[in-house]
Structure 1
Amino acid sequence: MPKIAIIGGTGIYNPKLLDNVKEVEQKTKYGDVKVLIGDYKGIEIAFIPRHGSKHSVPPHLINYRANIMALHHLGVKNILATAAVGSLNYEFKPGQFVLADQFIDFTKSRQNTFFEGGDEGVIHCDMTVPYCPDLRKAIKQAAHNKNIDIQDNGVYVCTEGPRFETAAEIQMFKMMGGHLIGMTSVPEVCLSRELGMCYANISIITNFAAGISTQALTHAEVVDMMRSRVADVRQLVMETLLYVFNDKNCDCTKILDEIGVNK
């Protein structure tokens, strides 16, 4: 069973990344999920294209609970996620990679927990450190090895989408301490933590946000920037796999003690 999964954003997956690739359909109570499973240097990896194989699912309609539960059923313990984001200030520039360490949630209509009462009960999951510090350390080591510049620490503001934000919203998020603006990290990171899974986010800045950019925002500019950095993103993710170990010192699995699940 794969212990590591990649949840890829725009344009990340390439069939040549993994060997012996097979597609499995994992059933969950939240829906069925198609997961690609393959090998990389002897490591079994699961991969989910977040927006579907043809980028046809908008961020507010992604079945986040099904995706995370499917990986959990497959035995995944660690999730590396990539995401295209906008920048809220000039210090974080397009083309730059950032490791988010905190988030601010401005989503509105998403199913963001597995614990809704009934048989599942009610659990108030600690989110003090939402993004796994050990996985972030592995990413930084991989970036160093590949001579890829990456900014450690950043506050990811997650909005509902699929529209871009107004200039007034961006100004507010900036005043609240946000650095990055995106549409997918929440509830992925929350759901992962609820199941005791380590989760880290590699944000790829594709543009300055509304009101900071001097021109109107377009999806095309996001795609174009991702294309220009996709080789480095893939290289960084695959190199990181070599530094993900099971004997981590993080407390991401502590929630399992509370809900009575064996680690």
Structure 2
Amino acid sequence: MAKRVLGIIGGSGVYDIDGLEWAEWQRVVTPFGAPSDELLFGRYAGVDMVFLPRHGRGHVQTPSTINYRANIDAMKRAGVTDIISISACGSLKEELPPGTFVIVDQFIDRTFLRQNTFFGPGLVAHVPMAHPVCPALATALEEAATAENIRHARGGTYICIEGPQFSTLAESRLYRQWGCSVIGMTAATEAKLAREAEIPYALVAMVTDYDCWHPDHEHVTVDAVIKVLHENAANARKIVTAVAERLGPERKPSPLGVETVLDVAIMTAPDKRDPNLVAKLDAVAGRVLKK
């Protein structure tokens, strides 16, 4: 059975875990530029883990300036086999109040300023995204949240907006009409790139507010969001450690077949491929490009 290396993408409070052994920050170089920060390598409950602060320590990157490609490429180079993302979000449903952890299973992507693919002219690929979240990882997260008595919901659609501004009232109402559960600014991009890198991905969306549709939350403020974030930080650490214990150091392939998704995704004929782009994709797609 293959060895698991669990990647965690989240905020500063997520990686400050008691019992993390051999913890060491390391710089990872990628052909797509610098990741948001160094990566923290360690081991918990026998599971090798790699943590990446999504916005950098001290929250220095906006949702649009995060180098998502470098982040996912760095995870792949670090040997990460599974990614769990933990991200703050707004709620679009009354039954998902602040403090709830939503284990998302679908995305709607409304971003427009960022690079959301590793591929391009000279090397075209189309990966399936019908089911963007690995159900095995989602189940482990659900079990972890239940065991830790963390208020949670399994399933829901995350709408990803460009930001950095919060939604207008009209937008918030529209997204509710679409049936979305939560709203954020980062996770859909991560999910797309993780799929291209053949890494199973799951998301825990931590609700910090009701967005502006709710009459009691008409104006989303940073102070209010940070207050709930701090309250959620302890639960975020609990769910990370509990899910590591449940997943364990040995892994089975994703039931979605994510690890081999590029086998049928690359369209460009071998003799027409851009050698420079092929070289950049040595980590992300080297498994299929070296054949």
TM-score computed with the length of structure 2 as normaliser: 0.85
Structure 1, unmatched stretches of 5+, are none
Q: How does 1:1-263 map to 2 (within 5 A)?
A: 3-9=5-11, 11-14=13-16, 16=18, 18-33=20-35, 34-118=38-122, 121-214=123-216, 215-244=218-247, 245-248=250-253, 249-258=255-264, 259=266, 262=287
Q: Which amino acid aligns with 1:124?
A: H
User: Is the CA contact 2:108–2:159 (under 8 Å) kept in the aligned structure 1?
Assistant: yes
CA distance in 1, matches of 2:18, 2:145: 21
- Cα offset, 1:39, TM superposition: 1.3
State how far apart, in whole Å, the 1-side matches of 2:12 and 2:213 are.
24
1:117-174 per-residue CA deviation (whole Å, 9 max, x = no partner) reads: 22xx111110010011110011112122222232000100000011100000011111
SS of the residue corresponding to residue 151 of structure 1 reads strand
Partner Cα separation in structure 2 for residue 211 and residue 148 of structure 1: 25
CA distance in 2, matches of 1:97, 1:86: 11
Shift of 1:44: 1.3
Q: CA deviation at 1:250?
A: 2.9
Q: Partner amino acid for 1:108?
A: F
How far apart, in 2, do the equivalents of 1:168 and 1:178 lie?
14
**2:81, 2:67 → 1: CA distance?**
19
Name stretches of at least 5 consecutive residues in structure 2 with no aligned partner. Answer: 267-284
Tell me which amino acid in the other structure corresponds to 1:219.
V
The whole-number CA distance in structure 2 between the counterparts of 1:134 and 1:165 is 32
- Return the alpha-carbon distance in structure 2 between the equivalents of residues 189 and 17 of structure 1: 29
What is the DSSP-based 3-state SS (H/G/I as helix, E as strand, rest coil) of the residue aligned with 1:60?
coil
Which residue does 2:274 correspond to in 1?
none
Structure 1 residue 19: deviation in Å?
1.9
Q: Once the 2 structures are TM-superposed, how far is the Cα of residue 10 of structure 1 from its aligned partner?
A: 5.7
SS of the residue 1:26 aligns to: coil
- CA spacing shift, 1:256–1:203, aligned 2, 3 Å: same
Offset of residue 15 of structure 1: 5.6
* Aligned residues of 1:134 and 1:250 also touching (Cα < 8 A): no
- Give how far 1:12 is off: 2.4
Q: How many residues align?
A: 261
Confirm or deny: 8 A CA contact 1:84 1:182 kept in the other structure: yes
User: Which secondary structure does the structure 1 equivalent of 2:251 belong to?
Assistant: coil
- Measured against aligned partners, the alpha-carbon deviations of 1:56-109 in whole angstroms (never above 9, x if no partner) come to 111111000000000101111100110111011211111111011001011111
Between the aligned partners of 2:50 and 2:4, the Cα distance in structure 1 is 6
Q: Contact (CA 8 Å) 1:10, 1:83: kept in 2 or not?
A: no
Amino acid at match of 1:107: T
Residue type at the aligned position of 1:218: T
Task: Evaluate the alpha carbon distance shift between residue 213 and residue 22 of structure 1 in structure 2; reply closer, same or farther with a 3 A threshold.
Answer: farther
What letter is aligned with 1:86? G
**How far apart in 1 are the matches of 2:286 and 2:179?**
36
Query: 1:17: Cα distance to partner?
Result: 5.3
Distance change in 2, residues 1:216/1:17 (3 Å): farther
Q: CA RMSD in A?
A: 1.8
Contact 2:208 2:225 in 1 (8 A): yes
Residue 118 of structure 2 aligns to a residue whose secondary structure is coil
Question: Taking structure 1 as the reference length, what is the TM-score of the superposition?
Answer: 0.94
Letter matched to residue 64 of structure 1: Y
Name the CA distance, whole Å, in 2 between partners of 1:198 and 1:135.
8
Question: Which protein shows a greater Rg?
Answer: 2
